[in-house]
Structure 1
Amino acid sequence: MDQKPFEVEITFRQTLRYAVQATNRKVAEQQAMQRWKVGDEAYVVGSDCCEVLEITSNPVPCDDRCVKDAHEAYRYLRDRELVIEALDEDAFNPTVHDAVSAEEVAIHVGWKRKENGNPDVPRAARALDRLCNERRVVCFTRSRVRAGEKGEIRLYCTPQHLAMLSSLIMDEELAGTAA
């Protein structure tokens, strides 16, 4: 029997127990939530993986399909960046100029999972990681900023876009020191 490559996602629910000092239950919950959001494990006194929610496995597609997906993801990224660079007057608007996540690429390119119609994030991440390996796209992580989220998120943009944003920041810093 020939072996094939698969991508397997395991989604589970985890419970963390924090030790906090507080004046009441509500304050204690708020303190624990803040620590959880920033990933502060210094006060974690216990952890349980209590429930597997879902296991999904899919065969890794053939190389031709992966090349096509990478091309489509790159075209989306570059088109998006060119529009931003051409139309936006506020060069430091972080909601517009931020790099994009694999989920955003999957949504905008229209890649959906057959079983539930959700965005096919693994497909987009595979395409973006391929582009990173080819050095056509750069990847970096940043802390999640939405309420109730914790950890980091991987973001992607082209090196050209990153260079343009870096030059804008350098110009702004130079203008600030000259003033």
Structure 2
Amino acid sequence: MTILRYVTHAEVEVDLSVPVARWGLSSTGRARVVAMLDQPWVPGVGRIVSSDETKAVETARILADHLGLSVEVRPGTGENDRTATGFLPPDEFEATADRFFAAPRRSVRGWERAADAQGRIVAALQDLLDAPSHASTVVVGHGGVGTLWWCWLAHEPISRRHDQPGQGHRFTVDVDRRAVLDRWRPIDEIDDAG
């Protein structure tokens, strides 16, 4: 079985003077990524693909440095485009995200439509399903588009009920069957099952 793990960046340092896509990991986020290195599946990773957003690249580089690998950056795998609103306070963000998932074919407050973001992430990662590597692959990305990809892989309609419960989670894909094997799991919670 060829395995791919989709990993989302952990907690970020919120800096309103910097565009959201350029936010980096917070000290808590970095500590959680370092804790992820103890996962039993980490030594089997042979390829690391990352979104071009700073928080994802930082996550990928911690893993890559640990394994002596390079990071393949893919701009098309970034989070859904929310530049129309920029930063939103947490309650307002959550309400807008609820609407984003509930109406996937409509733009909510100028955000990229969920259906379009799903099409983009599916296209950007298709080659990883079509030509799997012999070692497992980790894709480092974001919760929104990660959830949209999970829905596509699981043949489920777009729904926030499949969303990650917080930053710094992962799910596993059986590449040969193009099937998700689990739901979101914390990156720093040791999972002996892999």
Normalised to the residue count of structure 2, the TM-score between the two structures is 0.28
Hey, which of these two has a bigger chunk of strand by percent? 1
Hey, which of these two has a bigger chunk of helix by percent? 1
Normalised to the residue count of structure 1, the TM-score between the two structures is 0.29
**Larger RCO, structure (CA 8 Å, separation 6 or more):** 2
